Each structure stands twice: as structure tokens, then as C-alpha cells.
Amino acid sequence: MWLSAAGGCSRSEPGRTGYPARMTENPHVSGSYWLQTAHGPDRATLADDIEVDVAVIGAGVAGLSTAWELARAGRRVALLEAERVAAGVTGHTTAKLTALHTLIYDKLRRTRGPEGARLYARSQSEAIERAAQTAQELGVDCDWERRSAYTYACDPGRTDELRAEAVAAREAGLPASFVTETGLPFPVAGAVKVTGQAQFHPRKYLLALADDLVARGGQVYEHTTVVGLEEGEPCRLTTDAGARVTARDVVVATHYPVFDRALLFTRLSPRRELVVAGTIGADRDPDGMYITPDEGTRSVRTAPHGEDRLLIVTGEHFTPGTGDTRSRFQHLSDWAAEHFPDVTLTHAWATQDNDPTDTVPLVGPMHPGAHHTYVATGFGGWGLSGGMMAGRLLTAQITGEECAWSELYDPRRLRSTVREAPSFLKHQAQVARHFVGDRLRPPPPVEALPPGEGAVVRADGDRLAVYRDEAGHLHALSPRCTHMGCLVAFNAAECAWECPCHGSRFDTDGKVVQGPATRPLEQRDI
């Protein structure tokens, strides 16, 4: 019971990621372990106009992998990041490298056919081996470990589903089997096991990739927000500081596309998940990477931590801007303490993913008329193997090479979108409910807002997004998300305004923490 209802927010440092340093009152509990244990160099902000072969927007795993692969292929590359390299979603991942993505292969063989499932397994598996080869070539000490991956269930009613998944994964080419024994300290009804997968320290790996990109002539810029895209031959980008980038090709790898010429937002559903971590004895290591779709998802893995192991537990997924995040942290920490009684929890953070309505990520040309603009998004919680796969796929497309799985991931696909119409319609109904319903809900008066809390309130006859700090001072903003106008909601555990429609996030001063929004919430007087 270490997570308490914190009465205030820990403000982020200027120039950092915008994620709060602490989400709890416990002074021994801090943020992302990956960010704290791998400090990259500060990189320049783009101030002058430049011209390159390819401009890549977003320096997470997908953007970095793409830029690095292109530089290896001899292209002049500029990588543009709004905050810090590998410090956004990638810096808050669980860091499992596996082709076993919960329960996907049985669904793929039904919706994409056996060949589609095989291509998915092959593309993800080759991405893992590419990472292993790269880490060895660059001599990166990134805590690389081979582990088996498991999708498990405790409910005996799901064993048939797990058996079907094991068969489908094996037919797709993975070394998969159905098992009833795992290394978890509690019994399971069954599990899909895939051997030969991997886990690592993602930030150590990606910072080394960024260094090698620069060594190959690539340019890397931080605190450089791209706000304009002009497609053509060449393409032109504009930054918030007014600098212009001229490039033959542009890749948008911002997790959620900041430029969406094909209305991809209608096919992406944002999902936020929480992470808690702490030390356990090495003899308590469950020796594997585990996930279950039950209980709001529970994911378990460990990492080297001196003579001990760091236990990392993820779960409690929810739509940004909905519900009580503090209680969700409490539920997750309680689950970790119940199943691993001797754990000493030391870290808490959160991450965000985008689920595509038809299961498969969207990687390739940005829209039907695109000739020199590309996108990588919709990794559905598996962005490490997916981002590395995207780097190789986009490099092949830009350099004119063949790639066997280009069609599988093509964002312009329509057949699978029609087949997955129920998921598409469900997502659109949810967005509509927030867009309309949140405006109909009567807001509380600003006087009811306690210190350390935020809410969309009524003040002077208007709706305002107001945060009252610990000193009692009010910070007022427009509640309309600058992406498409949905009303934001306050996440007290992370001290952020969140859009429930498409997942944009802002700090208490309105600054963009996470896209697709590129403009801050407007300041208001109160």
C-alpha cells in the first residue's frame, strides 16, 4: 500500500520530457527507470534552414531506427525531436522485444490469412535479430538478455483460446507451444510460450544508435517541434522557431501522427498504461516475459539490478483523460505486492500506446496520393519490435528496395479496415461520446477545486481548464484540445491535462507533452 493519494503535482524540469518526476507522495518512488539510468547528451535545437535527403520527425524507436537505417544506406538524414531523444513513449516502455504480441496470430490468420500471419511473425522476428546484431556491432552494453515470452491466463475458460493461439503462432513460424507451467510465483491455467525472445535497456541501446547516426553524418536536433508540412518535390517542413527543412522524403514517426492527411486518427485508439517497478532477489526471478489480457492487462518482466533483479509490472490500461489514475496505480502496486510479496517498489511511471482498429500497425506511404511522405504509427503496445521493423520497411521503400511485408502494413489498406468495422465504429462512438457528452456534463464551480487538483470548471460563465497549485494559485487554460477541439480532463497522478479523443497531453501551463497536438492550450485569465 505504498501509493497514496498525492495532494499535489511535481512540476517537470524545463527542457525535459514533461513527465512528472514523481507520481506519489512516497519520496522513494520515482519515475522511469530507463530515463534515470541512461543520460544522453543535450543536442542542439534547429535554428537555421537545412537541406537533406530525408527528414524524420520523432526520435523514438521508430524514428531513430528509420533515420539510422537510412544513414547506413547512404542518405543524408535529419532527425527532428520535439523534446529529448528516446525520452517520450520509448523512454517509458516495458522494453520487451518479442514477436508474441498477446493474442494476435489466431486473429491474423482469420483476418489476413495464413500468409499474413507468417509475414507478421517474420517481420517482427527479423526486427529482434536486427537489434541483437546492431547491439553487438556497436558494442552497446544495454543489458541484453534472451528470454522466453509467455501469454498466460489464470481462468481455465481461456485455455482453448490459448491453445488456438499457440497453434496459430507455430504455423506462422514462431517456436511456440502451449504450456501449463511457467516461472511465475502463482499457478496459471495455461500459456503460449515462444522461446528465443529478448529484453534490454531501450534507452542505452537507442542513445548508442543516435551517436552512430551522427557518426555517419546524420543530424539530430532536440527541442525542435515541426508545425508545418508542405508536400511536393521536394517536401518542406517548418519548425516552431521558424526554421525550414527541405527534404526529398519525410517520415512522420511521432507515435501519433502530427500530420494526418489520410484521417488515420479515425483508425487509432489511444491507450494509457501504468508501470510500477522494484527490486526482488535474483532467486525470485520468474525467468521470462509475461503478459495476460485479463485484469486490465498485467505484464511482468525483470531486468538486471546489481545482485538483485528489477521487477517491472505494467497494466491498468485506460483511455487518457478518464477515471482516477491514482487508484489505478494503487491497484497495480497492490497486485505486484500480492504476487511478489518481497518486492520493494521504487519506481512508477506511465506510457501510452495507439491501437489500430484492424490490429496491424500502419507503416508506409502517408496517404493514397503520397509519393515522398511516410508514416509509422499504431504499434498497439509493441512499439520496440514494431519500430525497428518500421525502420527497415521505410528504408526499403525510400531506397526503392522490395519488402515482402509492405502490403501487410500499408496505411492505405481498405479491405482489412472494412473487415474490422466493429472496432472502427466502436472507436468512433467513443470519440463522439466525449466530444458531445463532455460538453453536456455540468462543470463544478471553480471554488470547489482543492489545492493540487485540476478540473474543467465553471468560472465567470465560461468553461475553463483550471489547476489550483499547492499555494492556492489558479492556472487557467482553454479546455479545448488544440488537435480537434475535444475537452481535456485532468490526470492528478501525472499532473497533466489529457484529451480522451486522440490522446494529446499537456502540462499545467498548457505546454504540449504528447501529440498529436502541436500547439499549447491557450492561456486564460481567471
Q: What is the pLDDT of residue 20?
A: 37
Do the domain assignments include residue 455? yes
Q: Which three cell numbers stand for residue 203?
A: 534507452
Q: How far is CA 185 from CA 131, 283, 286, 465, in A?
A: 30, 11, 7, 45
Considering the entire predicted model, what is its pTM?
0.86
Count structural domains, the chain.
1
Q: How far is CA 440 from CA 433, 456, 460, 465, in A?
A: 10, 12, 18, 16
Q: What is the mean pLDDT of the chain?
A: 88
Do the domain assignments include residue 458? yes
Region for residue 245 given its phi and psi (left: phi exceeds 0; alpha: psi -120 to 50; beta: otherwise)? beta
Report helix angle 61-72 to 202-215, nearest 10.
30
Pairing assessment for the beta strands 268-280 and 77-80 based on DSSP bridges: unpaired
Q: Is 125 helix (H, G, I), strand (E, B) or coil?
A: helix
Do the domain assignments include residue 450? yes
Instruction: Name the residue type at position 135.
Output: A
pLDDT of 201 above 50: yes
Do the domain assignments include residue 456? yes
Question: Residue 297 CA to chain centroid, in angstroms?
Answer: 15
Instruction: Name the residue type at position 39.
Output: H
- Tens of pLDDT along 467-518? 888 888 888 888 999 888 889 989 888 888 989 888 888 998 889 888 788 8
Do the domain assignments include residue 17? no
Closest C-alpha among 516, 521, 518, 511 to residue 16:
511
Question: Picking from 216-220, 380-384, 392-396, 498-502, which range would have the lowest pLDDT averaged per residue?
Answer: 498-502
Tell me the average pLDDT across 234-249. Answer: 97
Strand order through the sheet with 474-477: 453-459, 462-468, 474-477
- Tens of pLDDT along 52-92? 999 999 999 999 999 999 999 999 999 999 999 999 889 99
Distance CA 484, CA 252 (A): 19
Stronger pLDDT, 359 or 437, i.e. the higher one: 359
CB 233 within 8 A of CB 372: yes
The upper half-sphere exposure of residue 46, i.e. CA atoms within 13 Å in the direction of its Cβ, equals 28
pLDDT of 425 above 80: no
Do the domain assignments include residue 43? no
Q: What is the DSSP letter of 38?
A: -
Closest C-alpha among 392, 378, 381, 501 to residue 92:
381
> What CATH number did the domain enclosing 506 receive?
2.102.10.10
Do the domain assignments include residue 505? yes
- Tens of pLDDT along 368-385? 999 999 999 999 999 999
Q: What is the pLDDT of residue 208?
A: 97
pLDDT of 447 above 70: yes
Enumerate the H helices of 73-158 as residue ranges.
Answer: 105-111, 113-138
pLDDT of 21 above 60: no
Closest C-alpha among 392, 345, 457, 313 to residue 28:
345
Cβ neighbours for 267, distance < 8 A, ≥ 6 positions apart: 356, 357, 358, 362, 378, 417, 424, 427
pLDDT tier for residue 415 given thresholds of 50, 70 and 90: low
Look up the domain containing 482 and give its range.
442-514
Q: Which three cell numbers stand for residue 103?
A: 493474442
Do the domain assignments include residue 93? no
How would you class 425 by CB atoms within 10 Å of its CB: exposed for 0-12, middle for 13-18, buried for 19 or more?
exposed
User: What 3 state SS string does 393-453 have?
Assistant: HHHHHHHCCCCCCHHHHCCCCCHHHHHCHHHHHHHHHHHHHHHHHHHHCCCCEHHHCCCCE
Distance CA 458, CA 126 (A): 54
The upper half-sphere exposure of residue 84, i.e. CA atoms within 13 Å in the direction of its Cβ, equals 20
pLDDT tier for residue 457 given thresholds of 50, 70 and 90: confident
Indicate if the alpha-carbon torsion angle 265, 268, 271, 275 is positive or negative. Answer: negative
Q: What number of other Cβ atoms are within 10 A of residue 444's Cβ?
A: 12
Q: What is the pLDDT of residue 63?
A: 97
Q: What is the pLDDT of residue 456?
A: 86
pLDDT tier for residue 366 given thresholds of 50, 70 and 90: very high
Distance CA 188, CA 181 (A): 7
Q: Is 506 helix (H, G, I), strand (E, B) or coil?
A: strand
